[in-house]
Structure 1
Protein backbone atom coordinates (compact mmCIF):
# COMPACT_ATOMS: atom_id res chain seq x y z
CA UNK A 1 0.00 0.00 0.00
CA UNK A 2 1.23 3.46 -0.76
CA UNK A 3 1.75 5.97 1.96
CA UNK A 4 -0.45 9.05 2.21
CA UNK A 5 0.64 11.97 0.06
CA UNK A 6 1.07 15.61 0.97
CA UNK A 7 2.76 17.05 4.05
CA UNK A 8 1.79 14.11 6.26
CA UNK A 9 3.15 11.60 3.78
CA UNK A 10 6.43 13.49 3.56
CA UNK A 11 6.64 13.68 7.35
CA UNK A 12 6.09 9.94 7.71
CA UNK A 13 8.71 9.31 5.03
CA UNK A 14 11.17 11.53 6.91
CA UNK A 15 10.50 9.79 10.23
CA UNK A 16 10.21 6.17 9.08
CA UNK A 17 11.20 5.43 5.48
CA UNK A 18 13.88 7.85 4.29
CA UNK A 19 17.58 6.93 4.36
CA UNK A 20 18.96 8.19 7.65
CA UNK A 21 15.51 8.26 9.30
CA UNK A 22 14.93 6.74 12.73
CA UNK A 23 13.14 3.85 11.04
CA UNK A 24 16.03 3.24 8.63
CA UNK A 25 18.55 3.30 11.47
CA UNK A 26 16.52 0.78 13.43
CA UNK A 27 16.24 -1.51 10.40
CA UNK A 28 20.01 -1.34 9.90
CA UNK A 29 20.56 -2.14 13.57
CA UNK A 30 18.13 -5.05 13.28
CA UNK A 31 20.22 -6.49 10.45
CA UNK A 32 23.33 -6.16 12.60
CA UNK A 33 21.63 -8.05 15.41
CA UNK A 34 20.39 -10.75 13.04
CA UNK A 35 23.93 -11.26 11.76
CA UNK A 36 25.29 -11.35 15.31
CA UNK A 37 22.73 -13.96 16.31
CA UNK A 38 23.36 -16.04 13.18
CA UNK A 39 26.92 -15.37 11.96
CA UNK A 40 26.61 -18.16 9.39
CA UNK A 41 23.51 -16.57 7.82
CA UNK A 42 25.15 -16.50 4.37
CA UNK A 43 25.30 -20.31 4.36
CA UNK A 44 21.73 -20.85 5.54
CA UNK A 45 18.50 -21.86 3.89
CA UNK A 46 16.00 -19.27 5.15
CA UNK A 47 12.22 -19.08 5.25
CA UNK A 48 10.75 -15.59 5.66
CA UNK A 49 7.16 -15.60 6.92
CA UNK A 50 5.34 -12.42 5.97
CA UNK A 51 8.22 -10.73 4.16
CA UNK A 52 8.90 -9.73 0.57
CA UNK A 53 11.54 -10.59 -2.00
CA UNK A 54 12.39 -6.87 -2.29
CA UNK A 55 13.42 -6.81 1.38
CA UNK A 56 15.90 -9.58 0.69
CA UNK A 57 17.19 -7.93 -2.48
CA UNK A 58 18.20 -4.95 -0.31
CA UNK A 59 19.63 -7.14 2.45
CA UNK A 60 23.30 -6.67 3.39
CA UNK A 61 23.68 -10.47 3.56
CA UNK A 62 22.50 -12.97 0.94
CA UNK A 63 21.72 -16.39 2.45
CA UNK A 64 22.27 -19.55 0.44
CA UNK A 65 18.58 -19.48 -0.48
CA UNK A 66 15.46 -17.68 0.75
CA UNK A 67 11.81 -18.65 0.45
CA UNK A 68 9.38 -15.80 1.10
CA UNK A 69 5.85 -16.78 2.14
CA UNK A 70 3.32 -13.94 2.16
CA UNK A 71 -0.47 -14.10 2.18
CA UNK A 72 -0.89 -11.28 -0.33
CA UNK A 73 2.20 -9.96 -2.13
CA UNK A 74 5.48 -11.85 -1.68
CA UNK A 75 6.81 -10.19 -4.83
CA UNK A 76 8.35 -11.57 -8.00
CA UNK A 77 11.73 -13.15 -8.53
CA UNK A 78 13.58 -14.74 -11.42
CA UNK A 79 16.43 -15.67 -9.07
CA UNK A 80 16.26 -19.40 -8.23
CA UNK A 81 17.78 -18.71 -4.82
CA UNK A 82 14.94 -16.27 -3.94
CA UNK A 83 11.54 -17.99 -4.14
CA UNK A 84 8.25 -16.15 -3.52
CA UNK A 85 5.24 -18.21 -2.38
CA UNK A 86 1.73 -16.87 -1.80
CA UNK A 87 0.10 -18.48 1.21
CA UNK A 88 -0.96 -18.34 4.86
CA UNK A 89 2.00 -18.33 7.29
CA UNK A 90 -0.21 -19.92 9.95
CA UNK A 91 -0.46 -22.93 7.61
CA UNK A 92 3.00 -22.55 6.18
CA UNK A 93 3.87 -26.21 5.70
CA UNK A 94 0.66 -26.79 3.76
CA UNK A 95 1.22 -23.70 1.58
CA UNK A 96 4.85 -24.56 0.89
CA UNK A 97 4.05 -28.15 -0.03
CA UNK A 98 1.26 -27.00 -2.36
CA UNK A 99 3.73 -24.68 -4.10
CA UNK A 100 6.33 -27.43 -4.47
CA UNK A 101 8.73 -25.63 -2.12
CA UNK A 102 10.85 -27.26 0.55
CA UNK A 103 9.39 -27.65 4.04
CA UNK A 104 12.59 -27.71 6.08
CA UNK A 105 14.98 -24.78 6.61
CA UNK A 106 17.93 -23.72 8.70
CA UNK A 107 16.25 -20.54 9.92
CA UNK A 108 12.79 -18.95 9.99
CA UNK A 109 12.69 -15.15 9.94
CA UNK A 110 9.54 -13.11 10.55
CA UNK A 111 9.32 -9.34 10.93
CA UNK A 112 6.15 -7.57 12.06
CA UNK A 113 3.80 -10.41 11.18
CA UNK A 114 2.81 -11.90 14.53
CA UNK A 115 0.58 -8.92 15.40
CA UNK A 116 -1.40 -9.24 12.15
CA UNK A 117 -2.43 -12.90 11.95
CA UNK A 118 -5.75 -12.66 13.78
CA UNK A 119 -5.69 -13.31 17.52
CA UNK A 120 -4.23 -15.83 19.96
CA UNK A 121 -5.24 -19.02 18.14
CA UNK A 122 -3.62 -17.83 14.93
CA UNK A 123 -0.50 -16.58 16.73
CA UNK A 124 -0.15 -19.99 18.38
CA UNK A 125 -0.56 -21.64 14.97
CA UNK A 126 2.15 -19.40 13.52
CA UNK A 127 4.49 -20.29 16.37
CA UNK A 128 3.89 -24.00 15.75
CA UNK A 129 4.82 -23.53 12.09
CA UNK A 130 7.99 -21.64 13.05
CA UNK A 131 9.08 -24.43 15.42
CA UNK A 132 8.27 -27.16 12.89
CA UNK A 133 10.02 -25.59 9.90
CA UNK A 134 13.49 -24.84 11.30
CA UNK A 135 15.64 -25.40 14.39
CA UNK A 136 16.40 -21.67 14.58
CA UNK A 137 14.19 -18.60 14.39
CA UNK A 138 14.10 -14.80 14.53
CA UNK A 139 10.58 -13.49 15.17
CA UNK A 140 10.21 -9.72 15.60
CA UNK A 141 7.04 -7.90 16.59
CA UNK A 142 6.27 -4.37 17.86
CA UNK A 143 5.93 -4.13 21.64
CA UNK A 144 2.40 -3.48 22.86
CA UNK A 145 3.48 -1.09 25.63
CA UNK A 146 5.66 1.27 23.59
CA UNK A 147 3.87 4.64 23.80
CA UNK A 148 3.66 5.25 20.03
CA UNK A 149 1.60 2.74 18.05
CA UNK A 150 3.93 1.95 15.12
CA UNK A 151 1.46 1.40 12.28
CA UNK A 152 -0.39 4.68 12.68
CA UNK A 153 2.28 6.67 14.56
CA UNK A 154 -0.33 7.75 17.09
CA UNK A 155 0.33 7.71 20.87
CA UNK A 156 -1.62 5.04 22.73
CA UNK A 157 -3.80 3.99 19.80
CA UNK A 158 -3.48 0.32 20.81
CA UNK A 159 -5.20 1.04 24.15
CA UNK A 160 -8.22 2.88 22.73
CA UNK A 161 -11.68 1.30 22.28
CA UNK A 162 -12.01 -0.41 18.92
CA UNK A 163 -14.56 2.07 17.53
CA UNK A 164 -12.34 5.02 18.45
CA UNK A 165 -9.32 3.31 16.89
CA UNK A 166 -11.22 2.78 13.66
CA UNK A 167 -12.40 6.39 13.51
CA UNK A 168 -8.87 7.64 14.06
CA UNK A 169 -7.39 5.16 11.56
CA UNK A 170 -9.74 6.52 8.91
CA UNK A 171 -8.51 10.09 9.40
CA UNK A 172 -5.04 10.14 10.93
CA UNK A 173 -2.66 11.58 8.31
CA UNK A 174 0.52 9.77 9.48
CA UNK A 175 -0.90 6.31 8.83
CA UNK A 176 0.93 4.18 6.28
CA UNK A 177 -2.16 4.26 4.08
CA UNK A 178 -5.61 5.80 4.38
CA UNK A 179 -8.53 3.32 4.38
CA UNK A 180 -11.08 4.09 1.70
CA UNK A 181 -14.13 3.28 3.83
CA UNK A 182 -15.07 3.13 7.53
CA UNK A 183 -15.43 -0.63 7.13
CA UNK A 184 -11.87 -0.88 5.81
CA UNK A 185 -10.61 1.19 8.74
CA UNK A 186 -12.34 -1.12 11.20
CA UNK A 187 -10.88 -4.16 9.46
CA UNK A 188 -7.35 -2.72 9.64
CA UNK A 189 -7.49 -2.08 13.37
CA UNK A 190 -9.11 -5.46 14.03
CA UNK A 191 -6.24 -7.14 12.19
CA UNK A 192 -3.62 -5.33 14.29
CA UNK A 193 -3.13 -6.67 17.80
CA UNK A 194 0.20 -5.92 19.47
CA UNK A 195 1.62 -8.36 22.02
CA UNK A 196 3.68 -8.11 25.19
CA UNK A 197 6.66 -9.97 26.61
CA UNK A 198 4.71 -12.68 28.46
CA UNK A 199 2.78 -13.59 25.32
CA UNK A 200 5.89 -13.76 23.15
CA UNK A 201 7.63 -15.96 25.72
CA UNK A 202 4.60 -18.27 25.77
CA UNK A 203 4.68 -18.66 21.99
CA UNK A 204 8.45 -19.18 21.92
CA UNK A 205 9.46 -20.81 25.23
CA UNK A 206 13.20 -21.21 25.63
CA UNK A 207 13.96 -18.45 23.13
CA UNK A 208 16.00 -15.41 24.07
CA UNK A 209 13.89 -12.25 24.02
CA UNK A 210 15.78 -9.28 22.63
CA UNK A 211 14.50 -5.74 23.27
CA UNK A 212 14.87 -3.16 20.49
CA UNK A 213 14.90 0.19 22.27
CA UNK A 214 14.24 3.81 21.39
CA UNK A 215 15.16 6.46 23.96
CA UNK A 216 15.60 3.68 26.49
CA UNK A 217 12.09 2.30 25.94
CA UNK A 218 11.36 -1.09 24.37
CA UNK A 219 9.90 -0.50 20.92
CA UNK A 220 10.00 -4.03 19.52
CA UNK A 221 10.64 -7.55 20.75
CA UNK A 222 12.53 -10.33 19.01
CA UNK A 223 12.28 -14.01 19.92
CA UNK A 224 15.62 -15.57 18.97
CA UNK A 225 15.80 -19.35 18.98
CA UNK A 226 19.04 -21.26 18.41
CA UNK A 227 21.14 -18.14 17.88
CA UNK A 228 24.58 -17.28 19.21
CA UNK A 229 24.46 -16.17 22.83
Structure 2
Protein backbone atom coordinates (compact mmCIF):
# COMPACT_ATOMS: atom_id res chain seq x y z
CA UNK A 1 0.00 0.00 0.00
CA UNK A 2 1.50 3.30 -1.11
CA UNK A 3 0.43 6.48 0.64
CA UNK A 4 2.04 9.76 1.61
CA UNK A 5 2.49 10.82 5.21
CA UNK A 6 2.95 14.51 5.88
CA UNK A 7 3.23 17.00 8.71
CA UNK A 8 2.81 20.76 8.89
CA UNK A 9 3.83 22.75 11.95
CA UNK A 10 5.57 25.95 13.01
CA UNK A 11 9.25 26.19 13.87
CA UNK A 12 8.15 27.01 17.43
CA UNK A 13 7.38 23.31 17.74
CA UNK A 14 11.07 22.52 17.27
CA UNK A 15 12.18 24.97 19.95
CA UNK A 16 9.63 23.71 22.46
CA UNK A 17 10.43 20.11 21.64
CA UNK A 18 14.15 20.63 22.25
CA UNK A 19 13.34 22.09 25.67
CA UNK A 20 11.11 19.11 26.40
CA UNK A 21 13.73 16.61 25.24
CA UNK A 22 16.32 18.16 27.55
CA UNK A 23 13.85 18.07 30.42
CA UNK A 24 12.99 14.43 29.71
CA UNK A 25 16.65 13.44 29.50
CA UNK A 26 17.32 15.30 32.74
CA UNK A 27 14.46 13.50 34.45
CA UNK A 28 15.72 10.11 33.31
CA UNK A 29 19.22 10.92 34.51
CA UNK A 30 17.85 12.12 37.84
CA UNK A 31 16.21 8.73 38.34
CA UNK A 32 19.41 7.01 37.15
CA UNK A 33 17.89 5.59 33.97
CA UNK A 34 21.21 6.11 32.21
CA UNK A 35 20.95 3.11 29.93
CA UNK A 36 17.62 4.38 28.62
CA UNK A 37 19.22 7.75 27.82
CA UNK A 38 22.13 6.12 25.97
CA UNK A 39 19.82 3.83 24.01
CA UNK A 40 17.59 6.77 23.10
CA UNK A 41 20.53 8.80 21.81
CA UNK A 42 21.86 5.88 19.78
CA UNK A 43 18.39 5.23 18.35
CA UNK A 44 18.16 8.88 17.34
CA UNK A 45 21.42 8.56 15.40
CA UNK A 46 20.17 5.39 13.69
CA UNK A 47 16.93 7.14 12.77
CA UNK A 48 18.94 10.02 11.32
CA UNK A 49 21.04 7.68 9.18
CA UNK A 50 17.86 6.06 7.87
CA UNK A 51 15.81 9.24 7.41
CA UNK A 52 18.52 11.47 5.96
CA UNK A 53 20.75 8.87 4.34
CA UNK A 54 18.11 6.52 2.91
CA UNK A 55 14.73 8.27 2.75
CA UNK A 56 16.07 11.71 1.78
CA UNK A 57 19.33 11.07 -0.08
CA UNK A 58 19.03 7.57 -1.53
CA UNK A 59 15.32 7.06 -2.19
CA UNK A 60 14.25 10.70 -2.44
CA UNK A 61 10.97 9.91 -0.69
CA UNK A 62 11.42 12.57 2.01
CA UNK A 63 10.41 16.13 1.06
CA UNK A 64 11.08 19.15 3.29
CA UNK A 65 9.90 22.73 2.83
CA UNK A 66 10.78 25.60 5.17
CA UNK A 67 13.88 24.18 6.84
CA UNK A 68 17.41 22.98 6.12
CA UNK A 69 17.08 19.22 5.46
CA UNK A 70 20.22 18.15 7.34
CA UNK A 71 19.59 20.02 10.58
CA UNK A 72 15.86 19.49 10.45
CA UNK A 73 16.15 15.72 10.02
CA UNK A 74 18.83 15.59 12.71
CA UNK A 75 16.40 17.20 15.16
CA UNK A 76 13.44 15.12 13.97
CA UNK A 77 15.34 11.85 14.21
CA UNK A 78 16.77 12.63 17.63
CA UNK A 79 13.34 13.76 18.82
CA UNK A 80 11.25 10.69 18.12
CA UNK A 81 14.22 8.32 18.06
CA UNK A 82 15.27 9.31 21.57
CA UNK A 83 11.75 9.51 22.97
CA UNK A 84 10.43 6.31 21.42
CA UNK A 85 13.34 4.05 22.25
CA UNK A 86 14.02 5.43 25.70
CA UNK A 87 10.34 4.73 26.38
CA UNK A 88 10.55 1.25 24.85
CA UNK A 89 13.66 0.47 26.88
CA UNK A 90 11.97 1.51 30.11
CA UNK A 91 8.95 -0.66 29.32
CA UNK A 92 11.23 -3.62 28.66
CA UNK A 93 12.82 -3.02 32.07
CA UNK A 94 9.54 -4.04 33.67
CA UNK A 95 10.20 -1.99 36.80
CA UNK A 96 6.52 -1.58 37.68
CA UNK A 97 6.31 2.02 36.45
CA UNK A 98 5.01 1.46 32.91
CA UNK A 99 2.20 3.99 33.40
CA UNK A 100 4.51 6.72 34.67
CA UNK A 101 7.12 6.21 31.94
CA UNK A 102 4.36 6.13 29.30
CA UNK A 103 2.76 9.35 30.47
CA UNK A 104 5.98 11.34 30.08
CA UNK A 105 6.32 11.21 26.27
CA UNK A 106 2.57 11.44 25.68
CA UNK A 107 2.22 14.52 27.88
CA UNK A 108 5.23 16.07 26.18
CA UNK A 109 3.94 15.46 22.66
CA UNK A 110 0.48 16.84 23.42
CA UNK A 111 1.74 19.88 25.33
CA UNK A 112 4.39 20.87 22.79
CA UNK A 113 1.95 20.41 19.93
CA UNK A 114 -0.80 22.48 21.52
CA UNK A 115 1.54 25.29 22.58
CA UNK A 116 3.05 25.56 19.12
CA UNK A 117 -0.42 25.48 17.58
CA UNK A 118 -1.63 28.35 19.79
CA UNK A 119 1.47 30.55 19.78
CA UNK A 120 3.33 29.61 16.60
CA UNK A 121 1.58 32.00 14.23
CA UNK A 122 4.59 34.28 13.81
CA UNK A 123 7.05 31.45 13.23
CA UNK A 124 8.14 29.80 9.99
CA UNK A 125 5.81 27.07 8.78
CA UNK A 126 7.49 23.77 7.95
CA UNK A 127 5.95 21.05 5.81
CA UNK A 128 7.44 17.60 5.40
CA UNK A 129 6.22 14.49 3.62
CA UNK A 130 7.38 11.05 2.55
CA UNK A 131 6.01 8.24 0.47
CA UNK A 132 5.88 4.76 1.97
CA UNK A 133 5.58 2.44 -1.02
CA UNK A 134 9.34 2.15 -1.51
CA UNK A 135 10.13 0.64 1.87
CA UNK A 136 7.10 -0.62 3.83
CA UNK A 137 7.49 -4.03 2.21
CA UNK A 138 11.08 -4.32 3.47
CA UNK A 139 9.96 -3.12 6.90
CA UNK A 140 7.24 -5.78 6.99
CA UNK A 141 9.81 -8.44 6.10
CA UNK A 142 12.10 -7.34 8.94
CA UNK A 143 9.13 -7.34 11.33
CA UNK A 144 8.05 -10.81 10.20
CA UNK A 145 11.55 -12.27 10.62
CA UNK A 146 11.92 -10.87 14.12
CA UNK A 147 8.61 -12.13 15.44
CA UNK A 148 8.91 -15.50 13.68
CA UNK A 149 12.16 -16.09 15.54
CA UNK A 150 10.43 -15.39 18.86
CA UNK A 151 7.51 -17.66 17.92
CA UNK A 152 9.93 -20.44 16.96
CA UNK A 153 11.82 -20.21 20.25
CA UNK A 154 8.59 -20.18 22.24
CA UNK A 155 7.29 -23.25 20.41
CA UNK A 156 10.60 -25.05 20.92
CA UNK A 157 10.29 -24.41 24.63
CA UNK A 158 13.69 -22.70 24.80
CA UNK A 159 12.14 -19.71 26.53
CA UNK A 160 8.76 -18.11 27.06
CA UNK A 161 8.77 -14.59 25.71
CA UNK A 162 5.62 -12.54 26.28
CA UNK A 163 5.12 -11.78 22.59
CA UNK A 164 1.78 -10.08 23.18
CA UNK A 165 3.46 -7.57 25.51
CA UNK A 166 6.16 -6.87 22.92
CA UNK A 167 3.54 -6.26 20.23
CA UNK A 168 1.65 -3.97 22.61
CA UNK A 169 4.83 -1.95 23.16
CA UNK A 170 5.70 -1.73 19.46
CA UNK A 171 2.22 -0.82 18.28
CA UNK A 172 1.37 1.33 21.30
CA UNK A 173 4.42 3.59 21.13
CA UNK A 174 3.96 4.36 17.43
CA UNK A 175 0.19 4.72 17.84
CA UNK A 176 0.66 7.27 20.63
CA UNK A 177 3.05 9.24 18.42
CA UNK A 178 0.70 9.13 15.41
CA UNK A 179 -2.32 10.00 17.56
CA UNK A 180 -0.55 13.03 19.03
CA UNK A 181 0.19 14.29 15.51
CA UNK A 182 -3.49 13.97 14.62
CA UNK A 183 -4.70 15.59 17.84
CA UNK A 184 -2.33 18.53 17.39
CA UNK A 185 -3.41 19.08 13.77
CA UNK A 186 0.07 18.28 12.47
CA UNK A 187 -0.90 15.18 10.50
CA UNK A 188 -3.82 15.19 8.01
CA UNK A 189 -6.77 13.07 9.20
CA UNK A 190 -6.04 9.90 7.21
CA UNK A 191 -6.49 6.36 8.52
CA UNK A 192 -3.49 4.80 6.75
CA UNK A 193 -0.66 6.47 8.70
CA UNK A 194 -2.07 5.78 12.16
CA UNK A 195 -2.97 2.15 11.36
CA UNK A 196 -0.23 0.99 8.98
CA UNK A 197 2.60 2.94 10.59
CA UNK A 198 1.57 1.77 14.06
CA UNK A 199 1.60 -1.87 12.97
CA UNK A 200 4.92 -1.74 11.13
CA UNK A 201 7.30 1.13 11.69
CA UNK A 202 8.36 1.02 15.34
CA UNK A 203 7.08 -2.50 15.87
CA UNK A 204 9.58 -3.94 13.40
CA UNK A 205 12.45 -3.19 15.76
CA UNK A 206 10.89 -4.58 18.93
CA UNK A 207 12.01 -8.24 18.67
CA UNK A 208 15.60 -7.14 18.04
CA UNK A 209 15.45 -4.50 20.78
CA UNK A 210 14.19 -7.18 23.16
CA UNK A 211 17.28 -9.32 22.55
CA UNK A 212 19.61 -6.33 22.81
CA UNK A 213 17.93 -5.30 26.06
CA UNK A 214 18.23 -8.80 27.43
CA UNK A 215 21.92 -9.08 26.56
CA UNK A 216 22.85 -5.67 27.95
CA UNK A 217 20.86 -5.89 31.18
CA UNK A 218 22.56 -9.18 31.99
CA UNK A 219 25.73 -7.14 32.49
CA UNK A 220 24.58 -3.67 33.47
CA UNK A 221 21.84 -2.12 35.55
CA UNK A 222 19.99 1.00 34.43
CA UNK A 223 22.40 3.20 36.39
CA UNK A 224 25.32 1.58 34.48
CA UNK A 225 26.51 -0.36 37.51
CA UNK A 226 27.42 -3.98 36.87
CA UNK A 227 24.73 -6.55 37.47
CA UNK A 228 25.55 -8.78 40.41
CA UNK A 229 24.51 -12.34 39.76
CA UNK A 230 23.94 -14.29 42.94
CA UNK A 231 24.57 -18.00 42.67
CA UNK A 232 22.80 -20.18 45.18
CA UNK A 233 25.03 -22.92 46.55
CA UNK A 234 23.12 -26.08 47.27
CA UNK A 235 23.81 -27.52 50.69
CA UNK A 236 23.63 -31.19 51.33
TM-score, length-normalised on structure 1?
0.31
Which has the greater radius of gyration? Answer: 2
- Flag the structure with more relative contact order, 1 or 2, with Cα contacts below 8 A and sequence separation at least 6: 2
Larger proportion of helix: 2
Bigger proportion of residues as strand: 1
